[in-house]
């Protein structure tokens, strides 16, 4: 796209420089709008347009300084094409330090256009769904690639989430395979450990196809993925530095920056060789107090003990331990130490053997 004609909201690109503006957010009853900040970093030569967003969950803040550190005048001097960055997709949540915007009780990262779980339900689009539809249209009009920056539980490691590519008709399968292969190359260039998203049934049930990058991938057919940068609420400095390096390496992979990839600093990585898939669990058999024996970044074999389970007096509940039922790399532990039946106590990456290109469920 010609960098001289790129406009997002009130922000119009300036070749060889940074430009600043806003994308209109929801109208507020007290006046004004909850506008989203927009930064466009433009090179002097035309090229791809790389979209980068963060903070759709208001307490997930690490991506904001990552964007600030990445977008510099020096970057513009070397860049071909443009980077469009929105440091927060949820300014109301950022102000209140809450995951959801206070004017919409839906998870904002499940509101982007796409197949709804309940297509027959007659209802008006919510406040954030209306914003999401306009954002996705802006992405459609300009983006070549897209990355969204998130964080996870207080105790968690950094990793990239790679969705499987879904298709509807047999005639679409070849294009879906080509997109999937490009997505593999893209996530590899970023340099973080890569974890597949949930299997198709869980993916649709959790409406992850209606997340930022899920909608960009499944609806717009853009190479897009999500990055988890460790703990929420705070900025993990190691993860922030690594993310900036990974993003610059992505721009090199996309032929938007010159030079060889920068070395990625040491990050926790799984001691499992095969492709991995995100999964919640294990689930405690009874209520109690957790005393974790393993930490995020550890790899446990099937049967390994993740946590002790005791009552408030310190006595064992059941056999006193919670074990894994398969080999797993521990992505993160749930916040707190309380155990309830039916509530997962960790987020795991487990060996994956299902297709990375699959058909939409009926």
The CATH number for 8's domain is: 3.40.630.10
- Read off the tokens for 48: 């791809």
Q: Is residue 357 part of a domain?
A: no
Question: 133 and 76: one domain?
Answer: yes
For the cut 70, the answer to whether the pLDDT of residue 287 exceeds it is yes
Question: 193 and 334: one domain?
Answer: no
Question: 243 and 314: one domain?
Answer: no
The CATH number for 341's domain is: 2.40.50.100
For the cut 90, the answer to whether the pLDDT of residue 121 exceeds it is no
Q: Round the average pLDDT of the chain to a whole number and report it.
A: 96
CA atoms in the 13 A half-sphere facing the CB of 341: 4
For the cut 80, the answer to whether the pLDDT of residue 2 exceeds it is no
Number of CB atoms found within 10 A of residue 119's CB: 6
Count how many domains the chain has: 2
For the cut 70, the answer to whether the pLDDT of residue 117 exceeds it is no
Q: Which of 117-131, 132-146, 193-207, 227-241 has the lowest mean pLDDT?
A: 117-131
Q: Is residue 177 part of a domain?
A: yes
Q: Is residue 359 part of a domain?
A: no
Task: Quickly state the pLDDT bin for 1 (edges 50, 70, 90).
Answer: low
Of residues 124 and 12, which shows the higher confidence score? 12
pLDDT tens-digit series, residues 150-184: 999 999 999 999 999 999 999 999 999 999 999 99
Question: 242 and 280: one domain?
Answer: no
For the cut 70, the answer to whether the pLDDT of residue 205 exceeds it is yes
| Residue span of the structural domain in which 330 resides | 276-351
For the cut 80, the answer to whether the pLDDT of residue 56 exceeds it is yes
What's the CA gap between 314 and 288, in Å, rounded? 9
Question: 332 and 203: one domain?
Answer: no
Question: 151 and 282: one domain?
Answer: no
**Which residues lie closer than 8 Å to 39 by C-beta, 6 or more apart?**
11, 18, 19, 20, 67, 71, 84, 85, 86, 87
**Which residues lie closer than 8 Å to 173 by C-beta, 6 or more apart?**
167, 357
For the cut 80, the answer to whether the pLDDT of residue 115 exceeds it is no
Helix (H) or strand (E) holding 214: helix 212-218
- Read off the tokens for 4: 């001289």
Question: 211 and 317: one domain?
Answer: no
- Which of the 8 DSSP states describes residue 263? P
For the cut 90, the answer to whether the pLDDT of residue 123 exceeds it is no
Question: 100 and 217: one domain?
Answer: yes
Q: Is residue 268 part of a domain?
A: no
Q: Taking residues 31-56, what's their average pLDDT? A: 97
């Amino acid at each position: 796209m010609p960098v001289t004609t790129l406009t997002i909201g009130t922000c119009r690109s300036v070749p060889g420089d940074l430009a600043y503006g806003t994308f209109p957010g929801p109208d507020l009853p007290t006046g004004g709008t909850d506008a989203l900040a927009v930064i466009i970093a433009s090179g002097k030569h035309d090229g791809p347009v790389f979209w980068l967003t963060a903070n759709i969950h208001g307490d997930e803040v690490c991506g904001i300084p990552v964007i600030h550190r990445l977008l510099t005048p020096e970057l513009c001097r070397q860049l071909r094409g443009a980077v469009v960055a929105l440091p927060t997709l949820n300014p109301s949540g950022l102000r209140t330090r809450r995951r959801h915007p206070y004017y919409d009780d839906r998870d904002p990262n499940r509101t982007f256009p796409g197949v709804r779980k309940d297509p027959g339900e007659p209802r008006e689009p919510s406040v954030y769904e209306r914003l999401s539809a306009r954002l996705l249209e802006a992405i459609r009009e300009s983006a070549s690639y897209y990355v969204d920056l998130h964080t996870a539980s207080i105790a968690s490691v950094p990793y990239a989430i790679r969705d499987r590519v879904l298709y509807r008709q047999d005639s679409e399968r070849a294009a879906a395979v080509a997109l999937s292969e490009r997505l593999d190359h893209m996530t590899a260039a970023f340099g973080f450990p890569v974890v597949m998203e949930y299997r198709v049934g869980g993916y649709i049930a959790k409406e992850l196809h209606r997340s930022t990058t899920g909608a960009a991938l499944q609806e717009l057919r853009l190479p897009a993925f999500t990055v988890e940068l460790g703990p929420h609420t705070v900025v993990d400095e190691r993860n922030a530095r690594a993310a900036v390096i990974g993003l610059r390496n992505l721009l090199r992979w996309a032929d938007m920056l010159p030079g060889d990839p920068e070395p990625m600093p040491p990050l926790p990585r799984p001691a499992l060789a095969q492709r991995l898939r995100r999964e919640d669990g294990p689930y405690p058999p009874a209520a109690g107090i957790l005393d974790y024996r393993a930490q995020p970044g550890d790899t446990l074999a099937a049967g390994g003990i993740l946590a002790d389970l005791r009552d408030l007096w310190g006595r064992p509940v059941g056999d006193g331990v919670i074990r894994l039922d398969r080999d797993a790399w521990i992505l993160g532990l749930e916040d707190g130490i309380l155990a309830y039946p039916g509530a997962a106590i960790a987020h795991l990456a487990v060996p994956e053997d299902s297709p990375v290109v699959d058909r939409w469920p009926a």
